[in-house]
Chain A
Amino acid sequence: MQIPHSKRTLANGLDVIVHEDHRLPMVAVNIWYHVGSKNERPGRTGFAHLFEHLMFEGSEHHDHGYFPPLQRAGGQLNGSTNADRTNYWEVVPSGALDLALWMESDRMGYLLPALSEKKFSNQRDVVLNERRQNYENRPYGLAGMALSAAMFPPDHPYHWLTIGSADDLRAASLDQVREFFQTYYHPANASLSLAGDVDSEQAFDLAERYFGGLPAGPAVERVRAEAKLAANATLVLEDRVELPRLYISWHSPAMFASDDAELDVVADVLTHGKTSRLYKSLVYERRVATDVSAYQHSREMGGLFQIASTASAGVSLTELHTAILTAVAELGAHGPTASELERGLAQTEAQFIYRLQTVGGFGGKGDQLNAYNTFADDPGYFDRDRQRYFDVTSKAAAAAVNKWLVHAPSVSLSVVPKGRRDLALPGAEEVHVS
């Protein structure tokens, strides 16, 4: 199984990947810049994402909003930033492909002349509101920040979340925008995919035409950092919530590294669906929790394996903590059953097929080609990615559980209602985030 494609690299280093799918009269343009919040420094957090906002405010030859011409052409568009990368996409009617490429190439090549203090301060206000809406004003919204801060030392780029600190955002300056653009936004640090109703040769010609003349830009040094917990930590965060919730977090393998797929499978066995071990035990049978979730959050420099569960009214987080660690230990001792693996594979197989349904947008085929190209250095990694899950054995899953979870330190975070620190795990140390 594959996303059929061809790839060429332009002389300036821009990777171009083309996938033909003519079912809809639409083309998906997707571009990844290999830069994210992990390229930031302490005191300047939140910058990569703030920068993404500025990419929609116009460039030298079209110094107006980025949305109107594309929207008028019937296009849809968006962008997003995470720790490792920033992506931008448009899905446009086939006849508007030139327009989309003109616009993408203009902001890759000519963003700075159109920048102004006014745009910058406006988008900073927008981002501060995004932060309030999605983190500060949302129940449990600050838990992720507290956990990242506890899992990684202050100088490690995964110490902060992509949204950044409000103080750093307020202190950001236009000069930093210029420097950031010059360092990271150029062809040699990007990957462009065109997926959908387009002829491959024509697509490569257009890519060359619009992007080929842009200078390659400086080589970007890969960020490298290691993180390790010295010992278990137990933390408590007060929040405006009704029910206490427990988070447990471990360091885990990087994306596509050995044990990454095993821990994905383990997360599913623990909490995916009613038949998963922890849902069945905590929510379905004992009814001590209202929800439980686990996931292997893998990134370029390393992953986090996290389990979260909200206590039913009157149930102590200690009880959840014990139950979760017991279930993890049990998986370490015996691994998933053959039946669990078989059920998981049926779902994995379907999920990979579902991923072939859309050409564009977040998670569409164009986005996947760029993800594989950027993180696995091979846009054709789809089938190998899938194969990783078919290769998981019970023994290997158990070994991964023992190595990364059972025999490794973790951070436990209790999020409790304001003034109810007594509901946290015993001995929890108070943390403050804002």
Chain B
Amino acid sequence: MTIDRSRLPVPGADRPFHFPRIVRRTLANGLELRAVRHRSVPVVSIVLVVPGGSAVDPAEAHGLVSITAGLLDEGSRGQSALEFADRVARIGGDLDLEAGMDAVVVGLTTLDRFFETGLALVHEIVTAPNLANDDFNRIRNLRLERLKQMKDHAGALAERAYARVLYGSHPYGHLSLGSEAALTSVTLDHVRAMHAAMFAPAGSTLIVVGDRPEEQLLDVAAKMFEPWRAALSAAPIDRDAALLPPPARPAVKLGVVSRPGAAQSELRIGHVCAARSTPDYPALLILNSVLGGDFVSRLNTNLREGKGYTYGVRTGFNLRRGIGPFVMQTSVGTEVTGSAVQESHAEILAIADARPATPEEVAIAFASLSKGYPRGFETAGQVARSVAQLALHNLPDSYFEDFVPRLARITADDVSAAARQYLVPDRMTTLIVGDLDKIDGSLPGLGLGPHQLLTADL
């Protein structure tokens, strides 16, 4: 019974895993249906993906798409928001309305025996929300107050300011919640027009996942959603607005949002980078894992485990339908802000130049991404969300099966090439949200030129 502690046990072979099989159907009204049978506890997950998202916001009405989505469950078919909330609660439903940059996603998870009721609830709020004046005023005020509260939150300030300096007036240049000024000018008429234009069956995808035969899932969904028609009066919206190229060069190289007395500096470093459709996506996943996507990444090993500057640091290639950003983010002690910025730049520069990803690092990243891949398909909700990503980015139904083999083909050279192409040091924008008086002295030494003071307006 003694154990050999002189070496770590070598893991055995992976047991094969069958990724979800997707069954499709297209309704006469243009709505795409996708069903997956998920054998698990009696839970169903319903996800409706409507392409567009906050990137479709008119320039003078940032926040419009998000508040339109947010009003869906604030009263429908002549009943009040309270009545609707009561109906969701009585099926133990978990309803989620999310306006992302690229899409509005309506999700409902409930027990299998309430599948039909759940579908009816989703159908009702999408096709027949009241969009009443009183509810609009209530929700707009809550959102204005949330924007006010975000001024207290360093991370929220950084998100807002960073989107603006990277993207300017591009559709990705604002948060989906919008701004105080824009939201104040939004009217109920705008909301009604946006609802009519945005929520249409053609182009949207409804995903249903549960422990029933796929054809049965599809039949029930089809019956509920077949009558859905696009609004006749809808003014066209440009769902592809985000495909416009963002500014190639940043307007700001080093930006500071001042927060006197802040205990930490919130950092963002990155630049606009690539669209989700790039063929280099698998190489970027591995690159990210090595650089800053994992706990064992270079940046976390250096800044956290080596120097103790931070509780953690992460990078991401936030790839979207249009060109998304590469961003490194972290919060660091005020007194080490300058050094942390320098170390971060050095790591990003090194992986694209002097210290490319080694075959060993690439092997670890590949193993981590591939062997752990089945974990993302455990719950009905996870499966539905994964299928939603395929729908949003026009990826084939074989995507999950192909993922690991595609990733396996990536070599260290591919990762280095991706680093050189997708990480461009002289295009980086560095943003610091922190106590300017205390960090001021360390800024000139960063070699990023004079800093630009950014306002904390939200």
Contacts and interface: CB of A to CB of B under 8 A. Distances in A.
A387 interface: no
A356 interface: yes
B86 A343 contact: yes
B372 A274 contact: no
A243 B11 contact: no
Given A129-B331, A133-B264, A357-B41, A71 B294 contact: yes
A346 B40 contact: no
Contacts of B91: 346, 350
Interface size class of B (residues with CB under 8 A): 35 or more
Contacts of A283: 142
Contacts of A26: 374-375, 378
Given A61-B5, A284-B138, A357-B41, A126 B15 contact: no
B149 A346 contact: no
B281 interface: no
B305 A122 contact: yes
B202 to A, nearest CB: 32
A290 B308 CA distance: 37
29 contacts: A23-B40, A25-B15, A26-B375, A68-B296, A71-B294, A74-B371, A76-B372, A93-B11, A102-B5, A122-B308, A123-B308, A125-B308, A126-B310, A127-B311, A129-B333, A132-B264, A137-B154, A139-B152, A139-B153, A197-B15, A210-B3, A213-B3, A284-B81, A347-B92, A351-B92, A353-B92, A354-B43, A354-B94, A356-B41
Interface string A127-164: 11110111011110000000000000000000000000
Nearest to B294: A71
Contacts of B379: 357-358
Interface string A273-306: 1110000100110010010000000000000000
A104 to B, nearest CB: 12
Contact of A209 (B1, B8, B16, B90): B1
A280 B82 contact: yes
A76 B153 contact: no
Given A67-B295, A99-B8, A283-B142, 7 more contacts: A99-B9, A123-B308, A126-B308, A128-B333, A134-B311, A137-B264, A280-B82
A287 B3 CA distance: 65
A123 B311 CA distance: 9
B164 interface: no
B11 A96 contact: yes
Interface residues of A, number: 81
Interface string B1-45: 111011011111111110000000000000000000001111100
Interface in A194-208: 197, 208
Interface string A302-318: 00000000101100000
Interface of A: 23-26, 60-62, 65, 67-69, 71-76, 91-96, 98-99, 102-103, 105-106, 110, 121-130, 132-134, 136-139, 197, 208-210, 212-213, 240-243, 273-275, 280, 283-284, 287, 290, 310, 312-313, 342-343, 346-347, 349-351, 353-354, 356-359
B364 A343 contact: no
Contacts of A76: 372, 375
B141 A71 contact: no
Q: Which 8 A-B pairs have the closest CB atoms?
A: A74-B371, A350-B92, A125-B308, A95-B12, A139-B152, A25-B15, A96-B11, A136-B263
Among B81, B91, B148, B372, find the residue whose CB has the most chain A CB atoms closer than 10 A.
B372
Q: Quick one: which of A75, A129, A349, A350 has the most chain B CB within 10 A?
A: A129
A157 B153 CA distance: 30
A71 B295 contact: yes
Nearest to B88: A273
A273 B15 contact: no
A73 B364 CA distance: 8
Contacts of B375: 24, 26, 76, 91
B356 to A, nearest CB: 19
A95 B151 contact: no
B110 interface: yes
B263 A137 contact: yes
Nearest to B83: A275
B257 interface: no
A132 B41 contact: no
A346 B85 CA distance: 13
B17 A243 contact: no
Nearest to B141: A287
B364 A72 contact: yes
B11 to A, nearest CB: 4
A154 B16 CA distance: 56
A24 B295 contact: no
Nearest to A359: B378
A275 B86 contact: yes
B169 interface: no
Nearest to B41: A356
Nearest to B380: A357
A353 B42 contact: yes
B142 A106 contact: no
B152 A240 contact: yes
Interface in B294-314: 294-296, 301, 304-311
Given A73-B11, A241-B152, A357 B378 contact: yes
Contact of A130 (B9, B154, B311): B311
B305 A106 contact: no
Nearest to B266: A137
Contacts of B2: 213
A94 B141 contact: no
Nearest to B92: A350
Contacts of A208: 1
A98 B8 CA distance: 9
Given A23-B39, A243-B148, A313-B148, A122 B371 contact: no
A290 B148 CA distance: 11
A129 B13 CA distance: 40
B285 to A, nearest CB: 14
A99 B4 CA distance: 12
Contacts of A136: 263-264
Contacts of B387: none
Interface in B322-353: 331-333
Contacts of B400: none
A213 B1 CA distance: 9
B82 A346 contact: no
A381 B3 CA distance: 34
A346 B10 CA distance: 47
A71 B89 contact: no
A110 B5 CA distance: 11
A93 B14 contact: yes
Contacts of B142: 283, 290
Contacts of B41: 353-354, 356-357
Nearest to A76: B372
Interface string B437-452: 0000000000000000
A132 B331 CA distance: 9
A136 B307 CA distance: 21
A243 B331 CA distance: 24
Interface in B92-135: 92-94, 109-111
Given A126-B304, A210-B3, A350-B111, A73 B367 contact: yes
B296 A122 contact: no
Given A23-B40, A343-B86, A71 B368 contact: yes
A344 to B, nearest CB: 8
